[in-house]
Structure 1
């Protein structure tokens, strides 16, 4: 078809990894450009002038920003291996879950735990996790195959466990959230997810300086 697909991302960004996962799942060929976030390329700034962040997705020189917007565009453009449900209601639910993870769950988790423990925010985050636990009715949020809500949850499945290990805290536990814990393992070990996501060792290396951990 002569299509040109480009992705400007960063290996440690969960948001650009989302787009990587979606493109790989759908078998779309694309060129990947690794960005130095301390010295952003002119192309990244041109294609994402508002946010000036990764990911920047370009299809036939038409750019898009924001990972969840990009996921929808990819799914609507390449019909094979859909990552959003075909049923309108289920599709809307998948959109809701993806935005819930980005706009409610992850910001509250960061506020509750990253700098210092905050009881009120931690209780709120636990309530959000309980909601997700109830929403998980199959192997993945998308049923038996990975879908958009699962891809949006990559931070929960891949980045959160590293934080828990380094800081010695327990947030997503099997005792409280057995279905979410199994989902997290199944998602993190999926061949496509493993192929494009940073390894545990790589994530530990970038998290340690942020948390002033020297061991």
Structure 2
């Protein structure tokens, strides 16, 4: 049976971009479903009922959400392909540090832009 892989995402999302890159690096074919974040699909609400956010990776009907968790899932499930992280523990720690750093900086920048737009619109 072939794997059924679906990615629920919103194209400008840097968190979804992570998963798109990982899937491409691993050579995994998947169906991409662009989500309207203001009118969320029933599939998104069903697959991520707690946070109702993208990205959501659906593998054979089972969801993995949060981009970093989904990245680990991709690496573990498709372990017959080259790993996403280096074998060296120090280099892996460095990669995880930078991923966390980008997570925090991107979120802060997005929040500042959103807050500035909110103030500007008043």
Q: Point out where structure 2 has 5 or more consecutive residues left out of the alignment.
A: none
How large is the RMSD of aligned CA atoms in angstroms? 2.5
Quick one: distance in 2 between partners of 1:27 and 1:210?
41
Could you tell me how far 1:102 is from its partner in structure 2?
1.0
Aligned to 1:90, what secondary structure does the other structure show?
helix
With normalisation by structure 2, the TM-score equals 0.80
With normalisation by structure 1, the TM-score equals 0.48
Aligned length: 118
- Going from structure 1 to structure 2, the CA distance change for 1:61 and 1:54 (only over 3 Å counts) comes to same
Could you tell me how far 1:106 is from its partner in structure 2?
2.9
Quick one: distance in 2 between partners of 1:59 and 1:18?
17
Q: Report Cα offsets for 1:142-162 as digits up to 9, x if no partner.
A: xxxxxxxxxxxxxxxxxxxxx
Quick one: distance in 2 between partners of 1:100 and 1:54?
20
Could you tell me how far 1:90 is from its partner in structure 2?
2.2
Quick one: distance in 2 between partners of 1:48 and 1:3?
20
Quick one: distance in 1 between partners of 2:75 and 2:4?
16
Structure with the higher fraction of residues in helix conformation: 1
Structure with the higher fraction of residues in strand conformation: 2
Q: Report Cα offsets for 1:156-203 as digits up to 9, x if no partner.
A: xxxxxxxxxxxxxxxxxxxxxxxxxxxxxxxxxxxxxxxxxxxxxxxx
Could you tell me how far 1:67 is from its partner in structure 2?
0.8
Quick one: distance in 2 between partners of 1:109 and 1:16?
17
